[in-house]
Amino acid sequence: MTHDLAILGSGFGGSLCALIAHQLGLNVILIDNASHPRFAIGESSTPQADLMLAELADSYNLDFLRPFASYGSWVKEYPDIPCGPKRGFSYFNHQSGGGELLVAANPDLEHADTHWYRESFDAFLAGKVKQSGIELIENAKFQLETNASHTLRFLDREVQANFVIDATGGSNSLQIEHHCDLYTQSRALYAHFKGVSKWGELHPNNHHPFKSHNSALHHLIDGGWMYVLHFDNGVTSAGFVLDIEHHPLTEETPEEEWVRIMQRYPKIATQFDQSNRITSIVQTAQLQRKSVRYAGKNWAMLPSAAYFVDPLYSTGNAHTLYCIERLMKALHYGNSLSSYEALMFDEVSLIDELVSGAYGVMQDFDSFANLSMLYFAGADFSERKRRNEGIASFLNCQDKPFRETVSRWIEQARLGNAIPCLKDAIEPWNCVGLCDESKQNMYDYT
Ligand SMILES: Cc1cc2nc3c(=O)[nH]c(=O)nc-3n(C[C@H](O)[C@H](O)[C@H](O)COP(=O)(O)OP(=O)(O)OC[C@H]3O[C@@H](n4cnc5c(N)ncnc54)[C@H](O)[C@@H]3O)c2cc1C
């Protein structure tokens, strides 16, 4: 039997593609080399991610999906699928000079973004795949042969598919050549914990526009940063992301490296004093990778299969949802995937610019905070435009003057030059009073 579509990888991306394709009447098979529930990284959502979740739910009659688009509806409808509240982004500088930056992304907890407890969220979606009657094959090592169509061999079976989506993250299942020309160069060290103290309780501050721990909390350290994401089930996801030039990989075990970095930052270590680790520490090699092609006549990659830049700014899941929307439209209408590929190349370059620029000035908190306004302006402008006009590019990527502005300032940051207040530079896209010096880096939602 020939399937219209084979999807490799049943993370949230692969499962969502399967569910949407099924709604479009396509005959789908979904194959994973592991089984649910299982640990997965990539937890913090953004307004753009939530907007896309809601739009996909509405466009494809996936009513069960809609409550996941905000914290209030998620905890009400799905109390058994853990998540955490994300009122925005918070940054605490632990290098000399200190400094804080908090940027709200939503008005209150009800409408807040979320941290997805991926183990349960992904398992739920995979369960929906099965309930829909889509064949989900788990724990399967497959071999893929591609000619006019695709032949997949696994577990003594052979199936044909007219189209294949690679949603396997970094496995490169389609064996497409990679050439990484990204500026960002980082690696990560991460795990899940229980009993991590909440920063806003350890260090309460009436000037904060929201409780600083109800956010994607970033500790900036010498040559890198740490994220701390709390889930309501008592689990906390935490990890260091390190600039490779400052922190080359050594012979240390992951545990030794974790302890060494913590010892250097006793204030951060206090947050973990009462905690116990519940997963092993993952110590990655360089995170960045980039395929030379993202799609062809009868195949396509989701973002996380096509490339990876860095988790700063939590772009991964939102970008995946944007690309799922485009890919599913192209499959539905039989459109060429050349624009799917071209847009993604452009977006990867913008993400890389924003992130590599941020690393360039991470040692100077004022410059870091000023430069980050490019990301916040692009993300917010694009979210509002999409809400109002129904169409907008990811992170405002297709807005040429915006891109030129970003490139101009990123170049300065990469050269290590100080970044001044960018109020005038971002004025056309600044709908929310960013770069208002009277706010002293404390941005409530407007
Ligand atoms: C340290 C770190 C932190 C991150 N934090 C964030 C964040 O806060 N916010 C955000 O938006 N993004 C974040 N990301 C990015 C995020 O992980 C991705 O956007 C997201 O996981 C993509 O989901 P996916 O379903 O496409 O792929 P994945 O989640 O990678 O799922 C891939 C699936 O494919 C299966 N698979 C793998 N290999 C094979 C194979 N050979 N055959 C069959 N199946 C296979 C796996 O079992 C898995 O089920 C982070 C990434 C890293 C590395």
For 8-35, how does the pLDDT look when each residue is reduced to its tens digit (9 = 90+)?
A: 999 999 999 999 999 999 999 999 999 9
Q: Domain map of the chain by residue range? A: 1-43+117-184+288-356, 185-205+212-283
CATH 3.30.9.100 fits 185-205+212-283, yes or no: yes
Contacts of 317 (CB under 8 A, 6+ apart): 12, 42, 44, 45, 46, 49, 116
**pLDDT above 80 (res 406):** yes
Residue-averaged pLDDT of the chain: 97
**Burial letters for 115-125: b for 16+ Cβ neighbours within 10 Å, e otherwise?**
bbbbbbbbbbb
Q: Which CATH number fits domain 1-43+117-184+288-356: 3.90.550.10, 3.90.850.10, 3.50.50.60, 3.40.50.11690?
A: 3.50.50.60
Q: Do domains 1-43+117-184+288-356 and 185-205+212-283 have the same CATH topology?
A: no
**pLDDT above 80 (res 381):** yes
pTM: 0.98
The identity of residue 391, as a single letter, is I
pLDDT of residue 446: 84
Q: What pLDDT band is residue 83 in, cutting at 50, 70 and 90?
A: very high
**41 Cβ closer than 6 Å to some ligand 1 atom:** yes
**15 Cβ closer than 6 Å to some ligand 1 atom:** no
**196 Cβ closer than 6 Å to some ligand 1 atom:** no
The identity of residue 432, as a single letter, is V
Q: Taking the CA atoms of the chain, what radius of gyration do you get in angstroms?
A: 21
**pLDDT above 80 (res 207):** yes
Helix, strand or coil, per DSSP, at residue 411? helix
pLDDT of residue 1: 77
Q: What angle do CA 30, 36, 39 make, to 5 degrees?
A: 120
Strands 88-93 and 216-221 turn out to be parallel
The identity of residue 421, as a single letter, is C
Residue 40 CA to ligand 1 center (angstroms) comes to 6
Chain segment 430-445, per-residue pLDDT in tens? 999 999 999 999 999 9
- From start to end of 306-354, where are the E strands? 307-308
Q: What pLDDT band is residue 357 in, cutting at 50, 70 and 90?
A: very high
**92 Cβ closer than 6 Å to some ligand 1 atom:** no
Atom number of ligand 1 nearest to Cα 167: 26
